[in-house]
Amino acid sequence: PTTIYLSDYRVPDFLIDKTELSFELEEAHTTVNSRLYLRRNPEALDQSAPLELHGADLSLESIALDGRELAADEWVEEGELLRIASVPDNFTLHCVTRIYPQSNTSLEGLYKSSGMFCTQCEAEGFRKITYYLDRPDVMAEFYVDIIADKSLYPVLLSNGNCVLEEDLEFGRHRTRWHDPFPKPAYLFALVAGRLSRVSDRFRTRSGREVDLHIYVEDKDLDKCEHAMTSLKNAMRWDEDVYGREYDLDIFNIVAVDDFNMGAMENKSLNIFNTSCVLAKPETTTDAGFQRVEGVVAHEYFHNWSGNRVTCRDWFQLSLKEGFTVFRDAEFSADMGSPTVKRVEDVTLLRTAQFAEDAGPMAHPVRPDSFIEISNFYTVTIYEKGAEVVRMIHTLLGAEGFRRGSDLYFERHDGQAVTCEDFVRAMEEANGVDLQQFRRWYSQAGTPRLAVSGEYDEAAQTYTLTVKQSCPATPGQAEKLPFHIPLKVALLGEAGQLRLNLQGHKADPDAADNTERVLAVTEDTQAFVFTDIPERPVPSLLRGFSAPVRLHFDYRRDELLTLMAKDSDGFCRWDASQQLGLAEILSAISAQESGQAAVVAEDFVAACRSLLLDESLDPAMVALMLQLPSEAYLAELISPVDVQAIYRAREAVRKGLAHALRSELEACYGRCDVEEEYAANAEQIARRSLKNTALAYLMLCEDGEVYALARRQFERSGNMTDRLAALVAIVNAAEPYKGEALQRFYQDWQHEPLVINQWFQVQATCRLPGTLGRVKELMSHPAFDIGNPNKVRALIGAFCGQNAVNFHAEDGSGYAYLADQVIELNRRNPQIASRLLTPLTKWQKYLPAAQTAMKAELRRILAEPELSSDVYEVVSKSLQ
Ligand code: DPP
Ligand code: ZN
């Protein structure tokens, strides 16, 4: 496998003005006719370069240039390139290739999923369909014919507008599609199948009537309403917030059961994993509803941030993904509870992304090199990329950011551009200098901020001293200081203090001047606030204003103050997490010295006030009551002793449950209201607190709480409550468990997405014996290793979300994962490589675990025919 470098980027030697494709879909194979209208790129360095087209797993039937069949010595095939040495400056190339979608298990290119044909071309899947310039800076207008049996495949879809429909002989039919917007091959899509649809309309701000369709299997027609509502909300939101309208008369979504990613933003023909589009209360949890809303919006927003303005090369992936995640996060915040959404996103970032940044696969938001681009659809590109865009938003303010995005879209519409182009538009629209800020794109690693505060009573000043540093990452030993927006407030007895920063004017944007964004740009910097009448408690990194690890040596009472009083929801929640961490750390010490863990009275009291305070948002109460996750603790504690962390965390949870039992019961009762299900913020919040209370109550381990869980399991009509009860039952020493799992299966065996939940509940069970059960489930008739959702629900969930069992001291979890990766390596390299993540973090664990994990990585590396996907991750992890 070879490494590809950003620094080697060259403009394409050839451009394609028009691409005509014709697909003849049959049961044994598919024939693809392609006619490419090519010309030399006047900007290419080498004006006599040969034509090199990408192609993979294709069987070429014929190739003709300007109508003349090429002789065998006029072209060569080398690896993934087909080279024609001598071509004119303008010509058409006609290729006929044969492909085998039925046996394509990689789910990349054209493949079959439960009876339907569909495609996934991002990033480099189009080359599995026909020979092409498969790179995002080659954009062509597409005309696509699809021919197939009409009774098996009555619906034939591609991008753009349908311009022809006709019946052919032998029961076949043809549709022709034209997409007027030039696009790179990765946005091409084709769907053929027996599908039903739900339709609606949307009228854009300028009066365009858009037909909206969601295509699903007949049995799923009752699960489309939420996606449709979300789509319309997203279309309106993009008009309101970004001034961006939809640009065609038709917008299609298709749901597919076998899909590597969540969804794909193909122009006007989005293809979705069923798990990200189907929803109804009986089968879908609140989290599922929110995921559908977020993903539908994300893919729709790509129409501007991704399709109209796309990426020059794959190193710029975050240009579209970071920006679009930021856009969908803001959308979800506006549709629901902004603070809850922020806390959830920060939680993901601080666990998964910080871990990635600290591990062997660490890479900048704009990577410098890769072996396999599919490995770079990461939390760094997506979530950290979104944080980088959010910081620009924080630095420029909402209006400044909008000026920047307007300029970006206007200047680059129809182009394939870079992260640099994005930053420059933001700069130029606002007359600011983001030179140092650009380091966020080029430097990997999570910056650390060590902050200290000093109050000078005589001078009435408060000085915050901020030191930044960033650990080395692979290939980047030294880091230069970042430009970090640090949002702060100072809490006094009676509320937030007015902020006068020495040497600075008052912040004109801050309405009451009690919150300020400090520009941290140097290694060490002091910020002096004047006229501070009392010793304040600093509220730091408000709203998580930068993706950094911040340390401030808070006293306990200060954390309790922040937890009870801070007006910033993120900081309030974060204070609760720091207090929870302290409890867990002290429980670990207690265990080491053979003592029982005791939860501190003041922490119990703080949690009690949360439970009793009915004025608080129940969703926030639920989040604050949840102790830092094992995954987050693994980021904070070194080395990671998985078993000790798990036992300590459980001991603290148990301590809280016993101390707060009556409050938890009362809270449960208050939240347990009979109402018609709605996926709105208010109801979701209530269910979230109710189920948090239930999980705690289960730790009291008696018949009364078990009865409560059973009752909830048996009576609830929505999947959120039903599944939460099932999780509680499965994780308890509850004899009813087998029966509950059985019932759940009986009730839902006809719903694959629900059965995925059923697999996941069992795979994430914390009790001993889980690996054995997971192995048994792999031969359950409902399991299918070819279906990525099933693999994620069972194998992925066990290895990624069940630390205490995956890290079993006998190494059985590691060996299991390696076996699965080896099995999936050939079948579906993307999924195999994705599954590997937990093994790559070996450096964090105790020596014995490290040895066992590395041994499994070596075993994988020794396999013959490793895919480039798996090879890259394993070899980098062992470096
Ligand atoms: N389908 C993926 C996403 O939308 C890749 N573009 O993020
Ligand atoms: Zn995306």
Q: Is residue 287 part of a domain?
A: yes
8 A C-beta contact, residue 420 and residue 429: no
Instruction: Looking at the structure, tell me whether residues 349 and 216 fall in a common domain.
Output: no
In this prediction, residue 508 carries a pLDDT of 63
Looking at the predicted structure, is the pLDDT value of residue 509 above 80? no
In this structure, is the dihedral angle defined by the CA atoms of residues 589, 591, 594 and 599, taken in order, positive or negative? positive
Residues 223 and 249 occupy one common structural domain: yes
* pLDDT band, residue 519 (cuts 50/70/90): very high
Does residue 689 sit within a domain?
Answer: no
ipTM, two decimals, is 0.98
Cα R_g (the chain), whole angstroms: 28
Cβ partners under 8 Å of residue 358, min gap 6: 445, 446, 471, 635, 844
* pLDDT tens readout for residues 206-237: 999 999 999 999 999 999 999 999 999 999 99
Strands 369-370 and 524-530: unpaired
Q: Does residue 353 belong to any structural domain of this protein?
A: yes
Q: Tokens in use for 393?
A: 């938003």
Q: Please report whether residue 459 resides in a domain.
A: yes
CA distances for 228 relative to 252, 654, 685, angstroms? 11, 43, 23
* Adjacency order of strands within the sheet including 461-469: 500-501, 524-530, 461-469, 448-456, 549-552
Predicted local distance difference test score (pLDDT) of residue 504: 87
Match 């501070």 to its residue by tokens: 532
Closest of 795, 845, 849, 804 to residue 823, by C-alpha: 795
Residue whose CA lies nearest to ligand 1 atom number 7? 321
Is the pLDDT score of 507 beyond 80? no
- Which CATH number characterizes residue 337's domain? 1.10.390.10
One domain for residues 336 and 223: no
CA of 91 to the centre of ligand 1 (A): 33
318 and 299 assigned to the same domain: no
Query: Rounded distance, CA 274 to CA 31, Å?
Result: 28
Whether residue 61 lies inside any domain: the answer is yes
Question: Is pLDDT at 511 greater than 90 in this prediction?
Answer: no
Of the candidates 146, 253, 266, 155, the residue with the CA atom closest to the CA atom of residue 210: 253
Claim to verify: residue 436 and residue 497 sit in the same structural domain: no
Looking at the fold, whether 188 and 220 belong to one and the same domain comes out as: no
The reported pLDDT for the residue numbered 512 is: 76
Are 760 and 290 spatial neighbours (Cβ–Cβ below 8 Å)? no
Do 47 and 178 share a structural domain? yes
Q: Are residues 399 and 547 in the same domain?
A: no
Angle among Cα 541, 544, 549 to the nearest 5 degrees reads 75
Confidence band of 467 (pLDDT split at 50, 70, 90): very high
| Amino acid at site 668 | Y
pLDDT exceeds cutoff 90 at 360: yes
> Does residue 840 lie in a domain region?
yes
The region, left, alpha or beta by phi > 0 then psi within -120 to 50, assigned to residue 397 is left
Q: Which of 389, 424, 442 is the last residue of a domain?
A: 442
* 497 is a domain residue: yes
pLDDT at 364 over 90: yes
Domain boundary among 379, 414, 442: 442
* Cα first-last separation, the chain: 16
What type of residue sits at position 298?
Answer: H
Assigned token pair, 821: 């990766």
Which atom of ligand 1 is the closest one to the Cα of 264?
A: 1
pLDDT (tens digit per residue) in 181-212? 999 999 999 999 999 999 999 999 999 999 99
> Closest residue (by CA) to atom 4 of ligand 1?
264
157 & 289 share domain: no
Sign of CA dihedral 337, 340, 346, 352: negative
| Residues 250 and 357 both lie in one domain | no
Express each pLDDT in 705-717 by its tens digit. 999 999 999 999 9
Tokens for 546, please give them.
């930068």
Residue 357 Cβ < 6 Å to ligand 1: no
234 and 88 housed in the same domain? no
Q: Is 492 helix (H, G, I), strand (E, B) or coil?
A: strand
Is the whole-model pTM more than 0.90?
yes
Q: What would the pLDDT profile of 19-47 be if each residue is shown by its tens digit?
A: 999 999 999 999 999 999 999 999 999 99
Half-sphere exposure of 837 (CA within 13 A, CB side): 27
Q: What is the pLDDT of residue 505?
A: 80
Nearest CA to ligand 1 atom 6: 264
Q: Cβ–Cβ contacts within 10 Å for residue 849, how many?
A: 22
CATH number of domain containing 459: 2.60.40.1840
Mean pLDDT, the chain, integer: 98
CA distance 389 to 505: 26
Which listed residue (265, 299, 650, 872) is catalytic?
A: 299
* 438-456 tens-digit pLDDT: 999 999 999 999 999 999 9
Q: Are 439 and 476 in contact (CB under 8 A)?
A: no
CATH number at residue 18: 2.60.40.1730
| Each residue's pLDDT tens digit, 63-109 | 999 999 999 999 999 999 999 999 999 999 999 999 999 999 999 99
**Final residue of a domain: which of 242, 272, 303?**
303
CATH number at residue 768: 1.25.50.10
Q: What phi and psi, each to the nearest 5 degrees, are found at residue 508?
A: -65, -25
Q: Domain span at residue 326?
A: 310-442
Please indicate, yes or no, if residue 609 is contained in any of the structural domains: no
Separation of alpha carbons 376 and 359, rounded Å: 14
Regarding beta strands 269-273 and 263-264, do their DSSP bridges make them parallel or antiparallel, or are they unpaired? antiparallel
Token pair 């279309």: residue: 235
Q: Are residues 422 and 467 in the same domain?
A: no
Q: Please tell me the total number of residues recorded for the chain in this structure.
A: 879
- How many structural domains comprise the chain? 5
Closest-lying ligand 1 atom to the alpha carbon of residue 295: 4
Separation of CA 374 and ligand 1 centre (Å): 11
299 is catalytic: yes
